[in-house]
Amino acid sequence: MSIVTVTNMFPEGALEKLAPHCDLRTNQTENSPTAEDLKKYAFESTAIVTYLSDKIDRDIIDCGENLQLIANYGAGFNNIDVAHAAKKGIWVTNTPGVLHETTADLTWAMILGSARRIVPAERFTRENRFKGWQAKMFLGGDVYGKTLGIIGCGEIGSAVARRASGFNMRVLYCNRNRLSAEKEKALNAVYTPLEELLQQSDFVTVHTPLTEQTQHLIGKEQFLMMKPSAYFIHTARGKVVDDKALVEALKEERIAGAALDVYENEPALTEGMTELENLMLLPHIGSASFETRDKMADLVADNVLDVLAGKTPRCLVPSWGTSHGGKL
């Protein structure tokens, strides 16, 4: 029977779906596997279920003598050397289409939380420092009626834009490819060059994938373009933003505030981040709802079952086919 290895904690429902069809091996602890562990899993398994925290490089992939599938439990897959896996004839899948609404919800929590200084105000109250209403206590910025700039208007960016209508916001977006006129109208969004978007927006939120073109897309130059009253929100991929430049911009009050769910050198935080009161820090929880994590796990299981049945997995990552190993 084929061996399927899950590298980290995984929802029980998906494990039950997989168990009858394979020799299922799991790591139901909070301890991430080491590189040596991952090499062992690759060597033993027909399929491995991986997390963004698992760096699947060519050394690990080369150990997969019988490995047919690397199924990432997430929409992102920049933790995997996809090109090398493809050359070795190993499928790589992700979980698209199921987490955009949940991530958009969190993006809005971050927009509102940063603008209204929710985290420092909650901490202030919890520490029993609240002694009564004061006219200038924890003043923040309004959201209603402001301009929202969306960098990357795919599934998540579009979901963020739809929610903006309830706040009567003007929505600007920039994207690699312009949306159709019908979709722009539905989202009430205006296609805008990045520089103009940064200059005009009161809130800037990033939703681009990580590619060679988008690495450090936002850095010192871009923060200087933003309004001093603007807020920056990031739930995409850590390396899209130069975190040192962001810390500098916040320290020097070039922008009003920021909220991050991802980090350039995740899980490490850039020096100075934890000292900033105008920066909200979250532990990569964009898709962290019960319902969405279960949907993601179910999709992972479907990809694994496809391969075990001799089929092409339904969620091949977009870049796999450019240098595949002859399976298509």
Q: Cβ(35)–Cβ(16) under 8 Å?
A: no
- For residue 241, count CB atoms less than 10 angstroms from its CB and return exposed for 0-12, middle for 13-18, buried for 19 or more: buried
Q: What is the number of alpha carbons within 13 Å of residue 29 lying toward its C-beta? A: 5
User: With contact defined as beta carbons under 8 Å apart, do 174 and 204 qualify?
Assistant: no
Bridge partners for 297 per DSSP: none
Residue bearing tokens 């694994």? 304
Catalytic residue (one of 44, 101, 248, 266)? 266
Question: Catalytic site residue 284?
Answer: yes
- Cβ-contact 32, 7 below 8 angstroms: yes
- 266 an active-site residue? yes
**How many whole angstroms separate alpha carbon 34 and alpha carbon 3?**
19
DSSP code for 289: S
Edge-to-edge strands of the sheet including 69-72? 23-26, 3-6, 47-50, 69-72, 91-93
Question: Is 254 an annotated catalytic residue?
Answer: no
Give, in order, the Cα–Cα distances in Å from 166 to each of 101, 169, 171.
15, 8, 12
Q: Of 84, 117, 237, 293, which is the active-site residue?
A: 237
Rounded CA Rg of the chain: 21
- Which DSSP category does 171 fall into? E
Residues designated catalytic: 237, 266, 284
